[in-house]
Amino acid sequence: MAAPPIVTGVPVLPAPGALHIAVALDGAGWHPAAWREPDARPRELFTARYWSDLVAEAERGLLDFVTIEDSLGLQSSHWDGTPDERTDQVRGRLDAVLIAARIAPLTSHIGLVPTATVTHTEPFHVSKAIATLDYVSQGRAGWRAQVSRPAEASHFGRRTFPTLQFEDLQTPEGRAAVGEVFDEATDFVEVVRRLWDSWEDDAEIRDVATGRFIDREKLHYIDFQGNWFNVRGPSIVPRPPQGQPVVTALAHAAPAYRFAARAADVVYVTPADAGQAKVIAHAIRVEQQRAPDRAEDTVQVFGDLVVFLDQTASAAQDRRDRLDQAAGQPYRSDAPVLTGTASDLADTLQEWQHAGLTGFRLRPGAIPHDLEAITRTLVPELQRRQAFRTTYQSNTLRALLGLPRPANRYASA
């Protein structure tokens, strides 16, 4: 997909085409009581088989990619990650990058996008982990770059964050603190991207006769110096098969929009309706145009929705009510929640697509029920409307998303 045309400095929204659909996998599902459903598999959440089964189901549904949630702290109902001491919800998870690496050889087309945190970690480590995943998956790797919640700093002891209440985020001091975290995240992604380019594509010669394995002139120091990182490079992993694995990020508000527009290939947003989707998509593309060297890049804007699907809207609502009763409170999310049929969801996706979104990341309320509803009911409905693929036509995640393979910034012309 080409970059959106520019008219007097303002991006024009891309014309609607086929939808991109991803699913966000997290434990037994996004509802905190999902693990208690009769068809859930709570005893298997920490097994490779469980995750391979979920991704196999997503691939059977021809989905673009799966994301795998992760963090540097236990799941918590508090916005800042402070432990909530709850024992009636899933707590604990496996490392998302390692899950993806385990699943990669068992799949052939679907993209694998684990979450890796950019706070309290080092870009060098993330760059080689995601590059390795791109090799293991033969060009299907992505990365969801995520900032840490404030409470996670206590696990490392190397830095502190100001103690903020949620309402403090609306003050100048709170906005400045949040802005600094996202500025650091922007530099983090930039270092990772430079490390991916630190080997040229043909740096490996592998000539037994001459005894030359690499061309040292095609390995480059990146010499990045910034407020948070000083990284010389080069990477220890050759340039990934995609050149640059797909970088994704979730964004809820202005500082995160700016970070995602400057750093990511795919941005997940959480509009309440089509009108807000249009405003947010426009804001992100304006930020993209302002970013250095990004005016010609393609940035996909995906809507995030939590979904509870069934054959009828009343059945879906009854199931959600049952989950709420088990949890002891109504379910709330940072993303909009759709409770209804696959046809209802298809209507919403197409409406929001016309508002400027190019795809969607769906969060199954309960697994396997809502995952299978996506792959076995929503996908056929979209195919009937000629709004979704009927076969995989690309072997890399970038190609699947219509993203070109970028040139290496360090290669000579």
Does residue 413 lie in a domain region?
no
Res 168: pLDDT:
60
Residue 258 parent element (H or E): helix 254-263
- Lowest-pLDDT choice from 53-57, 178-182, 230-234: 178-182
Check residue 157 and give its pLDDT: 80
Q: Would residue 409 count as lying in a domain?
A: no
Q: 310 pLDDT exceeds 80? A: yes
- Structural domain includes residue 150: yes
In a domain, 50, yes or no: yes
Asked if residue 297 has pLDDT above 90, the reply is: no
**Residue 412 covered by a domain:** no
**How much is the pLDDT for 154?**
84
Answer yes or no: is pLDDT of 402 > 50.
yes
Least confident stretch, 32-46, 243-257, 258-272, 285-299: 285-299
**What phi and psi values does residue 171 have, to the nearest 5 degrees?**
-90, 160
pLDDT of residue 362 exceeding 50, the answer is: yes
Which CATH number is 156's domain given? 3.20.20.30
User: Residue 386's domain spans which residues?
Assistant: 6-400
The total number of structural domains that make up the chain: 1
Instruction: Output 204 or 297, whichever has higher pLDDT.
Output: 204
How much is the pTM?
Answer: 0.93
The beta strand positions in 165-223, using DSSP E, are 204-207, 212-214
What whole-number distance in Å separates Cα of residue 144 and Cα of residue 247? 6
pLDDT tens digits, one per residue of 153-176: 888 887 777 665 556 667 777 777
Q: How would you classify residue 359: left for phi > 0, otherwise alpha for psi between -120 and 50, otherwise beta?
A: beta
Q: What is the DSSP string of 114-143?
A: EEEESSSS-HHHHHHHHHHHHHHTTS-BEE
Farthest CA pair distance, the chain: 72
**Residue 9 pLDDT greater than 50, yes or no:** no
Tell me if 411 is assigned to some domain: no
- Is it the case that residue 13 has pLDDT exceeding 50? no
**CA of 39: how far to CAs of 29, 51, 223, 373, in Å?**
12, 15, 52, 14
What is the average pLDDT across 337-347?
98
Inside any domain, residue 410: no
Any domain includes 405: no
Tens digits of residue pLDDT in 70-94:
999 999 988 788 889 899 999 999 9
pLDDT at 153: 84
